[in-house]
Amino acid sequence: MKNVIFGLIIAFSLVSSVYTLTAYADNPIPQWIRNNAKWWSEGAISDAEFLKGIQYLIQEGIIQVPISQVTATNGNPSDSDRVTSIVVNFLNIDNGPAGLPSQLTFNSFQRIGEFGQTTTGYGNTGSPNAVSVSPEFQLIDLPSKDKSQYYQLLEKALETVGQGSTQTNQKTSFDVKIDLITGDGTLLHTVEYDKCNVLTYWVYTDSNKQDYRMAGEDQAEYREVTNFLCQGYHLDFPSTSVGPNYGSQ
């Protein structure tokens, strides 16, 4: 404990050399505070008693610590710390195409968006962890050969939904887990959608050069959009950091 108090005194000394710890001329530091410091260094008074003296100096304004000077800066995270990619997992596929695995993983999707209404609920810990209405989200990417199994799933799902007509009872459903990966390959957390169906899928040409170019070239590009409707939504925060290089598969 005495080491902590000593560190506090050192901290005050450093702050006084960088910031302004003002002792007003008409309200000088009381002599008993000076005595307390001496007695504490000699072990004559307890740590708690000495701390009360420091608290008094701050509460009475004898020592002023400019709060604006010691708040954390709002700098942007580095590329290694921020999310730079997503890994999309389709799990527990029900009524899917014959021969398709029960789990599909893709790391080429470039955008995830949310549309429709999503109301956040709160668990026993007071943190948001679920929703009370059916969440909807969309995946946006460039059409590509590496997602051939994804297109098989979409074909079956759109057949069972009956896009543009009455939905059938045997809809293709699945869970979707989207891992958010930082630049150094660490899994930050996972967004989980439960019992999802495909609502719509379409391809369009994006020729707006002011928009982000997924292909990295300054020209028009074809994009695909898939909209999903689900029955549940959760956030999964790993108890320990997973990675780096989690998303390198």
Q: Is 184:80 a contact under the CB 8 Å cutoff?
A: yes
Q: What is the mean pLDDT of residues 106-119?
A: 75
184 torsion bin: left (phi>0), alpha (psi -120 to 50), beta (else): alpha
Please name every residue paired with 193 in a beta bridge, in sequence order, or none if there are none: 176, 233
DSSP character string of 64-128: ---HHHHSPP-PPPPTTTSEEEEEEEEEEEES--TT--S-EEE----EEEEES---EEE-TTSSE
* Among the listed residues 240, 146, 155, the one whose alpha carbon sits nearest the alpha carbon of residue 201: 155
Half-sphere exposure of 109 (CA within 13 A, CB side): 23
Token pair for residue 148? 């051939």
Residue 44 to residue 38: CA distance in whole angstroms: 9
Q: What is the pLDDT of residue 166?
A: 46
Q: Is 101:149 a contact under the CB 8 Å cutoff?
A: yes
DSSP character string of 176-199: EEEEEEETTS-EEEEEEEEEEEEE
DSSP conformational letter for 80: T
Radius of gyration of the CA atoms of the chain, in A? 29
Residue 234 to residue 176: CA distance in whole angstroms: 11
* Among the listed residues 192, 186, 193, 191, the one whose alpha carbon sits nearest the alpha carbon of residue 240: 186
Whether pLDDT at 61 is above 60? yes
Domains of the chain: 2-70 (no CATH), 83-248 (2.30.110)
Instruction: Name the pLDDT band for 15 (thresholds 50, 70, 90).
Output: very low
Out of 56-60, 141-145, 190-194, which region has the weakest mean confidence (pLDDT)?
A: 56-60
Q: What is the mean pLDDT of residues 64-80?
A: 65
| Residue 101 host element (H or E) | none
Q: Is the peptide bond before 244 cis (omega within 30 degrees of 0)?
A: yes
Out of 8-22, 107-121, 173-187, 196-210, which region has the weakest mean confidence (pLDDT)?
A: 8-22
The identity of residue 159, as a single letter, is E
Whether pLDDT at 236 is above 70? yes
Q: Quote the mean pLDDT of the chain.
A: 75
151 torsion bin: left (phi>0), alpha (psi -120 to 50), beta (else): alpha
Token pair for residue 125? 């810990």
Instruction: Name the pLDDT band for 151 (thresholds 50, 70, 90).
Output: very high
Please name every residue paired with 86 in a beta bridge, in sequence order, or none if there are none: 180
187: how many CB neighbours lie within 10 A of its CB? 20
pLDDT in tens, 27-56: 566 777 778 778 878 888 887 777 777 777
- All residues at 6 or more sequence positions from 192 whose CB lies less than 8 Å from its CB, including other chains: 175, 176, 177, 178, 232, 233, 234, 235, 236
Q: What is the pLDDT of residue 154?
A: 94
DSSP conformational letter for 133: S
pLDDT in tens, 157-188: 998 665 444 444 578 999 999 999 999 999 99
